[in-house]
Amino acid sequence: MSLLLALIAILFAGRLILQKYHPQSVLLLTGIILLLIAHFSGWTTLSGMVKKSTGFGPFDVFEFIRDTLSIRLGGLGLQIMLIGGFATWMSAIGASQVLVRVTSRPLQRLNSPYLLLGLALLLGQFLSLFISSATGLGLLLMATLYPLLTRLGCSRAAVAAVIASTCAVEFGPGSGNSVLAAKTAGMEVVNYFVQDQLPIVIPTILFIALLHIVVQRFFDSREKEEAPSPQALQLTPDDNQQAPIAWLFLPMLPLVLMLLCSKLLFSSLKITLDTAVLISLAVTLICEYLRHRNARKVMAGIQKVFDSMGSVFATVVTLIVAGEVFSAGLKAIGAVDALLSLSGEFGLSAASIVLLMTLITFAISALMGSGNAAFFSFAPMVPDISRHIGSDVAVMMLPIQLSAGIGRTLSPIAGVIIAIAGIAGISPVDIVKRTAIPMLGGWLLMIALTFARSGHLLAVLPWLAIFLLLLVSGYIWRCRRRQTLSAS
């Protein structure tokens, strides 16, 4: 009964989100309904879920939301808001543009268009460490790399597909998903980045770059450029002046500080991510004053940080809270316990349960066009499941977290796909056709590497084989159906 109710809730929420309802409102409403059902059915005592009960069960639902908001605003929410504000200011002063422009210069020396595409993917994933917004980084690359690569012989669709893939593998301390994963696993985000993410992410990104080279060559051999490249998007700082070349180091400051003040280098120094961002803001403030010698102008720039923090709260932090309420509703009706009990009856291993959650997150992200909505909804359930099956939280969290970003890149309704398609003058579906094989290939390799590292690869190989069989069968059926339709 719990699993059936959970399935209905997931389908209900997913359908509304696909119909362009706001995901925060949908997840929050569905979570509230599930919590009320759990209360009135006697499955859960809501007073045990809050710090201080109101004395009336239905009111405790909203007390739980208040508790979640207060916790997230002071910890994880503050970090994500500061990251968003810092990234916005870096773009406003031109530091992000300088970083992209300088790092892309070596690509001009290469003569192979498809090798350029592979290196552009690697460059974009490197830049995603410092520019956390997928759409923001995509627009920056469309303004800088896109005209360069098209002039060097790459097709518009191929370049657009590669640029749309540059934030597919979300990793690093600047990623909101990474911060949430590390917090949920009870780890410092820099340790999660170095110890858990890098060994899996590096080979995955290299493999995706290789697949892009092969796939884009294949598609270009079948298609011809039908129109000249459109004018490049012009993204300039607010004052229409190029920032000094030294400003390219400013976006890197938070990551550099986090790495320096950790057990990896100087263990005597310990700072959190939000402290690193605040220090970086102070350094940037001094640099900007030395550049302009205008305190009023620099102070106005700082206001952009606070404005952006409010925007991040409205879009990201509220989504995290709504996802936690939805997750709490699923747990309150007993869906998690029922899933674990059912898996025990069918003899499913811990690795199989992790793979199941990874598949669900990947599929929902591809359908919704948002990796955050899926990951924020399921991440809070991972610690309870990991304790029940005796698995490490970080090991379970990593494939689920990475699947969210990769799945989003397969969605034609994702914001970054739509933005890039509009600038390139092509269809979002055409971009997804070119990203599908690299993303699926990278996703499968990521899963294989993750479970091989934890020693459970053999347990999930049959499930991966079934998934591949279904995928290939669906592709063959689609091709045959297209041939039948064209013949008729």
Give yes or no for a contact between 144 and 100, defined as CB atoms under 8 angstroms apart: yes
Look at 167 and 484; give whichever has higher pLDDT. 167
432-to-123, 161, 164, 474 alpha-carbon distances in Å: 20, 7, 9, 17
The C-alpha atoms of residue 95 and residue 249 are separated, in whole angstroms, by 8
* Residues sharing a CB contact under 8 Å with residue 140, sequence separation 6 or more, in sequence order: 91, 96, 97, 100, 127, 131, 235
Q: What is the pLDDT of residue 336?
A: 64
Q: Side chain identity at 170, as an amino acid letter?
A: E
pLDDT tens digits, one per residue of 421-476: 877 788 888 888 888 889 998 998 898 888 887 776 776 777 777 777 776 776 67
pLDDT tens digits, one per residue of 399-412: 888 988 888 888 87
Q: What is the pLDDT of residue 487?
A: 65
Q: Side chain identity at 334, as an amino acid letter?
A: G
The C-alpha atoms of residue 146 and residue 163 are separated, in whole angstroms, by 8
Residues 226-249 have a mean pLDDT of 58
Percent of the chain's residues with pLDDT above 70: 84
Query: Which of 1, 19, 98, 30 is closest to 324 using CA atoms?
Result: 30
Q: Is the pLDDT of residue 96 over 80?
A: no
Q: How confident is the model at residue 234 (pLDDT cuts 50, 70, 90)?
A: very low
Q: What is the pLDDT of residue 240?
A: 46
Neighbour tally for 347: CB within 10 Å: 7
pLDDT tens digits, one per residue of 39-73: 888 777 777 778 888 878 788 888 888 888 887 77
* Residues sharing a CB contact under 8 Å with residue 347, sequence separation 6 or more, in sequence order: none
Backbone angles phi, psi at 52, to 5 degrees: -140, 115
pLDDT tens digits, one per residue of 266-283: 666 777 777 888 888 899
Q: What is the pLDDT of residue 202?
A: 92
Neighbour tally for 256: CB within 10 Å: 13
pLDDT tens digits, one per residue of 120-162: 899 888 888 877 777 777 777 776 777 778 777 788 889 889 9
Q: Is the pLDDT of residue 349 over 70?
A: no
Q: Is the pLDDT of residue 286 over 80?
A: yes
Residues 298-318 have a mean pLDDT of 82
Q: What is the mean pLDDT of the chain?
A: 78
Q: How confident is the model at residue 209 (pLDDT cuts 50, 70, 90)?
A: very high
Q: What is the pLDDT of residue 411?
A: 80
pLDDT tens digits, one per residue of 354-380: 787 788 788 777 776 666 767 777 777
